[in-house]
Amino acid sequence: LTAQALSSSASRRRRRVARADGPGGPGTVLPIVDRSTTKTFRKDLQRSDQYFRFGKTQMDKAMGDLKTVSGSDLVDEIRKNGFRMTIGDVTFVLAESYGFCWGVERAVAMAYEARTFFPDKKIWGTNEIIHNPAVNKNLNNLGINFLENGNDGVKDFGVVSEGDVVLLPAFGASIDEMAYLKEKKVQIVDTTCPWVAKVWNSVEKCKDKGHTTIIHGKYDHEETVATKSFADNFLVIKTMEEAEYVVMYLLNGGDKAEFMKKFSKAMSAGFDPDLHLDAVGVANQTTMLKGETELIGKLFERALIRKFGPQEINNHYITFNTICDATQERQDAMYKMFNTEYEAPKSKIYAELEGEQVGLTLQSEKNAEKLSSRKMEDESRGEAVVAAVPTGGKVDMCLIVGGFNSSNTAHLLEIAEEEGVPAYHVDFPERLGGSFDGTNLRNVIQHKPLKTTPAQAMKEEGLESLENFLPAGPIVIGITSGASTPDTITGACLERILQIRGLR
């Protein structure tokens, strides 16, 4: 594997990751793990011979090897220069938080190391390791395939045989998938991000108390699918508006049929809003905004205080410290690039409850300490001092690099549009210049607009091309990348801009 391969391995217009070819029939029927035993089951699996652990020396080497193929000299130079560098008439302003988060970097390193450690084994992934097509394509090239869904939309494990190696992705796998793999007697390499696993542990604590788990996330996102598999009773809430709807039902009751229809795909079997909202804990999908998760937790806590009184709150609400700040750090860095600040979400219902409960200290506020992804990233990349921004300095346009199916990357594009800055979301350097082989580059870019869905973009549908996207004269270009994007891809995109400009 080479750095060049990582940036150009999927340079064709159709960049679909190769997947396991199943029999074309229905997906695999998985065993159902008793939800009261998930903690014990997972611990037993982790202690078994099937669960492979890399030693510290192996992981240190794997992380070091990854840097040699995923890094970029140009990106590193900009970072060390205070996140700002001028080349000719082009000034690059790099977001202070960008690219691979620590959990993603760890997962990718483990996947490459698995191929090295098991050179003769068939290796499968229960899903793409991360949401980046270049990384997943390179793993394909190393003989690591990803399981495909059957004709019923259910994942097909039929191609997996006893003795094969199976990778659990960075965002985890469901407990039922783990049970199937245990029965299949495969070797499991678990690349699940420790931040995600921490959420699972919190769900277990919630379940032990007999509380319902409120999950702030997207019900069909792979991470949330895994998280909810550890819960007994759960409800998945995506937005602040949904949280307010649920809280109003908790306090005042309402149209039960409407509630059940609204959350039909986002609740556990047998969920009853008249029974299962009186004692809850709030967990989260790690790619959701920390400000939203924090406010949703406080909203439920204050609602339950109103319903049962502050003296009873410990019997009705449990708070967790499950927020990873990687997503928020990248978004905060975007706002800073545009000389503005992130505005935390607001809720009229919360404001009303807060006004009633002046002087009460919430569990949610006591437990505000969070995991720091930035600290781990600085240890990996090395700390850098931010250069002073010139008076009147601004960003003329923004380049956002990341997989088209990456939700955290899409949020970065939303911020640029919100601030009125022209922005272009690309997944590969080949989207710039109108040439996939790097010759005869023109001033043109092919990008994914915000209105195009990830599903469309992954099929090369809904993409737009723009001629003369680089204006004449000096230009300041903001640069950022999603948490699943290696610096190699970002650096190659910047090199293309310089080539188009005649500076390379």
Tokens of 227: 């998280």
Distance CA 171, CA 287 (A): 10
φ, ψ at 503 (rounded to 5°) = -105, 5
Tokens at 126, concatenated:
């229960």
For 27, residues 6+ apart whose C-beta sits below 8 A from its C-beta are 149, 150, 152, 153, 154, 155, 156, 157
For residues 65 and 2, the answer to whether their CB atoms sit within 8 Å is: no
Catalytic residue among 113, 223, 294, 377: 223
Are 63 and 53 a contacting pair, CB within 8 Å? no
Active-site annotation holds for 148: no
DSSP helix/strand/coil, 278:
coil
Which pair of tokens denotes residue 42? 């997972």
- Residue 423: φ, ψ to 5°: -140, 150
Surface-to-core class of residue 460, CB atoms within 10 Å of its CB (0-12 exposed, 13-18 middle, 19+ buried)? middle
Contacts of 261 (CB under 8 A, 6+ apart): none
Active site residues: 223
